[in-house]
Structure 1
Amino acid sequence: MATPMRIPVLIAGAGPTGLMLACQLARLGIDFRLVDSKTGPTQESRALGVQARSLELYQALGMADAAVAQGRQVAGANLYVGERRVQRLPIGDIGRGTTPFPYLLILEQSRNEALLHQALQASGGSVHWGCELVNFQQDADGVTAWLRPSGDRPPYPVRADWLVGCDGARSRVRDQLGLSFAGGTYEHLFYVADTQVDWDLPPGELTVCLSDATFAAFFPMPGERRYRVVGVLPSGADSEQGLRFEAIEAAVRAQMDVPVRFSDTRWFSAYRVHHRCVERFRDGRCFLAGDAAHVHSPVGAQGMNTGLQDAANLAWKLALVVQGRAGEALLDTYHDERWPIAQRLLKTTDTAFRWIVSPEAVARALRLRAAPVVLPRLLSRPAVQQRVFRAISQTGLHYRGSRLSATGPAGPARPGDRLPHADIEPPLAAQRQPVYAWLPPGRFHLLLLQHGSAGLQAQASAWQAELDRHWPGGCSVQAVSADHGGAALLERLGVGTRAAVLVRPDQYIAWTATDFDRPGLLAYLRERLGLRPPDVGNQ
């Protein structure tokens, strides 16, 4: 048999997670093969909400403007108990200053996939559509996988250094690794309908309605009075294939206390909700990401966004190892950083979901009697509103306990946190732009921040020369004075008038110092990241 083709990374599954991983690797110059048994990007709407943190990643890839133009911005969320609105959360006001995208963007999964696919093609990458991962075996040096093209052609082998399963909740990669997918399935059967809604409630905002019988969530979609409606399938409804929304409309309206009318339903489906998480995200030469690693209830619109963050976390680590710039131990931090987040998300969404749908008397009393009293008092506090926004938007997720996060000044943002949002004025630029758009993806960046510009550019040149001697091409150094956006970053970091900040390729802070400490940074690179010049890994 001929020697199989050798590739650094094989990605199974071209949904949002796989496409994001491929986009990141393409920009990092890493060769990969992305395969999917589908004939093209998903056509169904499926996941709907794009959170601010995902849009920040999109901005770094140059696709945020297109996503925002195609989607619908939701700046407010309402909770109705019975016929009374008990709380409105002003998402846009709360998130302003925290992110360039202080809202929930409603953009169907199909459109996200199309945009990611376009970004991948623009970077020179492609998807092998109609190509299925049939089987694989891993050993100490890599993975031998058998891929089956569409049609009657037999499977053929490829040899990959690393395999990443982004192949969804029914992941073949996870199953063949024999990893458990602990969790369960909610007893209720749920429905989702993309439909036109006529009612007297505030238009264009996310609305959750709780009644004695059930709940329904309304997500505004592009188009006049169009919403995605999610709720519990009424009892007695025939859940067999072929069920139409029109058959349950009367029962849905009867369950709700808010008068509502539906029309022009374009998509409807009944489904069961799972809550599961794999035991580990890395197994030897194989990784799991997105729904292959964790599935959640739809509360909070977190699932697709968490998969995108998985991909952003893993991509740069894989790239450094493939390039021989870091030891394989760096890849263990993917599980160390992402698994706890998946576990916390599973726990919080599961608790919220059970509280919303439980028919038990205590749960019903809490949501129908206690919630209208407690939530307005609690959510009226700015500090609580900020915590809620940061959690749902995923801008507040952090890796402070990671071994990649150095100790540093104890300010509002510290190593392990996402780099705070600020508008930067690059040299020769016509206007300021968000820091996530200014820092190109895929590289480490060292920001030298200072009140006043005296000597700052000379410092930046000295840092760049030092880093290039020890780590050629591994990090770009940027000088940012207070007049060009540095003041806002210094304030949000809480580090005084001068700081050096090392930013990871996924836009998280790795290391900070209140002086320009070159030996301290070099020690961090060697000891925490295990980074080395590229020729070391190739000897």
Structure 2
Amino acid sequence: MDPVIVVGAGPVGLALSFALARHSVPSLVLDSTDGNPPARAARSCILRPDSAAVLPPLPGLRWRSWRTRRRSQQVEQLELAPEQAPVHIEQHVLERTLRSALAEEKLARIVTDSHVDLLEQDATGVTAHTRGPSGTWWRGSYAVGCDGARSMVRKLLGVRFPGRTAVERHAVAALRVRLPWEEGQYDEDGAWEPGDVGAALLHRDPGGTPGEVTARPLPQGRWRLDWLLPPRGDLVTPEEMLERVADTLAVWSEESLRESAKAAAAPVGGRAGRAGRPGTPRRPAAGGAPGAGPDETRASSGIGPYELVDTGVHTAHQRLARHWRVDRVFLAGDAAHLTGALGVQSVDEGLRDASNLAWKLALAWHHGHGAAADTLLDSYETERRGAMVARLRAVDQALPVVRRGGGLRALLPGGARTHLGLLTDGHLGRGLLGAPPAYTRTPLTPARGSVAEVTVGTAPGAPVCDVSVTATDGSRGALHEWLGGAGGELLVLLVAPGTGVWDSRHWLTAGMMPELASAVAGLPLRATLLVAESYPGAAAHTVLAIRADGHLAAAFPAGRFNALRTCAEAVRGGAYS
């Protein structure tokens, strides 16, 4: 059978090809570039744990905390557990990591300098034409347009892309600098050794200096700073960008010096605290060359010298394609939706598209076509477009509250806390603005009453918790390690207290395990049996049927093997012809 054609080699297209390979589906990535993404530190993305779990190991930086400040006052600090910590990574690093992983995959092929200009469909597949001196035709079973906001695939399909332009704008700068709240200590030679790294959202009064700024750490001692701009306005000149950097660091320097002075003057054991203690910023010589450009070093009093690595302007639009599937062609990522206001992460949402679509294409590719395959493939648009409708609606409702609600002043003691929650939800992947969606209205669930379902801590359609599990071969790990195709199109998780204490060879042949293992092996799709000591809200001997994208299909008592098969049939859209 022909490979799946993936048009576009950004993060979403590359991640989709990687996921398809793990599902044993060949793919052809048509890349319009030369295959060498430019290094842009100011162009980074934040990945939630559920999105990062199905990717190759990433060299990005995981946050430890999130802090909200107004002037010298810290309004809130949230400590992030490892399973909640987002990964901050430059987009070109993410793309190169995925390209390296695909280079090791026999089922994946990337063709560079391939600009698609024609797309045709018939009953058995898709034909794509790429322009060039002689032109090339490519044949595929399906095609997915991951070719960005100006998607040629979307235009060739005639799909409308309505929405709003320039909902938010940010001036962006990437700096190599040590900021005051970066934890660490000086070594014996006076060199700074970073410790735990956090992230800080800093919000000023509207119209004040430096305005609303988000500071997010990157590897190698760098930070990405975003300043909120008017939605529509003049271009940000290099001089204005340098002024923003200088003004912001000057304000933070003054605040850190005042805090250091207070800490030094505070009585500690009957003596004054010692300034310059580990973790306290040293004050360097003030000054610096005015008008310094990118990659030049300047100094800021109270923080230290910094290197301006990269700058840019990020504009957030809100658009949503009318359709995400037209017969054998699909849209994903920025080709299907544009987001980005209030911290909503567009790359992260695109990766969720790829994770949702990959296992469905795999089932249709491996098991044939018909009504069940159509139900399965239609569910991609139902689930993912529905999730993005909810996300965009939440942003529309939150924007007037956050941007015209009095700023952080309303969040101080005695003020409303609503603004603070909205400002942090999108950045941290919480609530309506950032949490992974629950696919509650999906056709891929058993008919009501056909399965005696039980209640667990995860609702049907919601993402499962990343608990510790053991496979039937004795290997152990976290549940998310089996997602994204590593465990097939379905994971069957048995909650069996006590199994973690014993070697797997002792309990694999005991009780209901042999019969359950045989039932899993006989399912009409590739499935993996896992065992967990416990699962939140689940009683002992509960079975959870989990889709390859990590969303719960159903939970039912162990021993109900007919329920397991019914659930598997529903997950793949029904019985295949």
TM-score range, shorter chain: 0.7 to 0.9
Aligned positions of 1:95-106 closer than 5 A: 99=83, 102-106=84-88
- Structure-2 residue corresponding to 1:180: 160
Assess, with a 3 A threshold, how the Cα gap between structure 1 residues 315 and 79 changes in structure 2: closer, same or farther: same
Shift of 1:328: 2.2
Mapped to 2, the partners of 1:257 and 1:354 lie a distance apart of 30
- Structure-2 residue corresponding to 1:36: 31
TM-score normalised by L of structure 2: 0.76
Residues 166 and 290, structure 1, Cα contact 8 Å, conserved in 2: yes
Residues 51 and 392, structure 1, Cα contact 8 Å, conserved in 2: no
Shift of 1:375: 7.5
Amino acid at match of 1:405: T
Amino acid at match of 2:153: V
**TM-superposition CA deviations, 1:455-502 (whole Å, max 9, x none):** 86563332343454562x622334x2xxxxx2322xx1x231111222
- Secondary structure of 2:356's partner? helix
Amino acid at match of 1:337: E
Residues 53 and 393, structure 1, Cα contact 8 Å, conserved in 2: no
Assess, with a 3 A threshold, how the Cα gap between structure 1 residues 380 and 498 changes in structure 2: closer, same or farther: farther
Residues 424 and 433, structure 1, Cα contact 8 Å, conserved in 2: yes
Structure whose CA Rg is larger: 2
- Structure-1 residue corresponding to 2:380: 334
1:164 aligns with 2:156: no
- Structure-1 residue corresponding to 2:339: 296
Shift of 1:36: 1.0
Assess, with a 3 A threshold, how the Cα gap between structure 1 residues 286 and 330 changes in structure 2: closer, same or farther: same
Mapped to 1, the partners of 2:34 and 2:135 lie a distance apart of 17
- Structure-2 residue corresponding to 1:78: 67
1:48 aligns with 2:45: yes
- Structure-1 residue corresponding to 2:463: 418
**TM-superposition CA deviations, 1:212-237 (whole Å, max 9, x none):** 2131111111123x211111358999
| Identical counterparts, % of pairs | 25
The answer to which of 402-411 and 390-399 deviates more is 390-399
Aligned positions of 1:107-506 closer than 5 A: 107-124=89-106, 125-149=108-132, 153-186=133-166, 189-197=169-177, 199-202=179-182, 204-212=197-205, 213=207, 214-224=211-221, 226-233=222-229, 239=235, 243-244=237-238, 246-251=239-244, 254=247, 258-259=251-252, 261=300, 263-300=306-343, 302-324=345-367, 327-352=373-398, 355-356=401-402, 358=403, 363=404, 365=406, 367-373=407-413, 390-391=430-431, 396-406=436-446, 408-426=453-471, 432-438=476-482, 440-451=486-497, 457=510, 459-469=512-522, 471=524, 474-478=526-530, 480=531, 486-489=532-535, 492=536, 494-506=537-549
Assess, with a 3 A threshold, how the Cα gap between structure 1 residues 374 and 303 changes in structure 2: closer, same or farther: farther
Residues 211 and 256, structure 1, Cα contact 8 Å, conserved in 2: no
**TM-superposition CA deviations, 1:439-462 (whole Å, max 9, x none):** 624332222332356686563332
Assess, with a 3 A threshold, how the Cα gap between structure 1 residues 322 and 457 changes in structure 2: closer, same or farther: farther
- Secondary structure of 2:342's partner? coil
Residues 211 and 255, structure 1, Cα contact 8 Å, conserved in 2: no
Q: How many residues align?
A: 488
Residues 296 and 346, structure 1, Cα contact 8 Å, conserved in 2: yes
Residues 15 and 41, structure 1, Cα contact 8 Å, conserved in 2: no
Mapped to 2, the partners of 1:112 and 1:230 lie a distance apart of 20
Assess, with a 3 A threshold, how the Cα gap between structure 1 residues 80 and 452 changes in structure 2: closer, same or farther: closer
Amino acid at match of 1:210: H
Shift of 1:389: 5.5
Residues 275 and 350, structure 1, Cα contact 8 Å, conserved in 2: no
Mapped to 2, the partners of 1:375 and 1:48 lie a distance apart of 32
Amino acid at match of 1:174: R
Residues 51 and 393, structure 1, Cα contact 8 Å, conserved in 2: no
Shift of 1:312: 0.8
Residues 492 and 520, structure 2, Cα contact 8 Å, conserved in 1: no
Higher helix share: 1
Residues 442 and 506, structure 1, Cα contact 8 Å, conserved in 2: no
- Secondary structure of 1:401's partner? coil
Assess, with a 3 A threshold, how the Cα gap between structure 1 residues 455 and 220 changes in structure 2: closer, same or farther: closer
Assess, with a 3 A threshold, how the Cα gap between structure 1 residues 456 and 502 changes in structure 2: closer, same or farther: farther
Shift of 1:197: 4.2
Residues 86 and 376, structure 1, Cα contact 8 Å, conserved in 2: no
Mapped to 1, the partners of 2:548 and 2:435 lie a distance apart of 16
- Secondary structure of 2:539's partner? coil
Residues 424 and 438, structure 1, Cα contact 8 Å, conserved in 2: no
- Structure-2 residue corresponding to 1:90: 79
TM-score normalised by L of structure 1: 0.81
- Structure-1 residue corresponding to 2:13: 18
Amino acid at match of 1:329: T
Mapped to 2, the partners of 1:219 and 1:103 lie a distance apart of 13
Assess, with a 3 A threshold, how the Cα gap between structure 1 residues 19 and 391 changes in structure 2: closer, same or farther: farther
Mapped to 2, the partners of 1:129 and 1:377 lie a distance apart of 50
Residues 72 and 105, structure 1, Cα contact 8 Å, conserved in 2: yes
- Secondary structure of 2:377's partner? helix
Mapped to 1, the partners of 2:113 and 2:101 lie a distance apart of 20
Amino acid at match of 2:540: T
Amino acid at match of 1:121: A
Shift of 1:89: 1.8
Mapped to 2, the partners of 1:402 and 1:501 lie a distance apart of 17
- Secondary structure of 2:33's partner? coil
- Structure-2 residue corresponding to 1:3: none
Give unpaired runs (5+ residues) of structure 2: 184-196, 254-299, 500-506
Mapped to 1, the partners of 2:508 and 2:12 lie a distance apart of 43
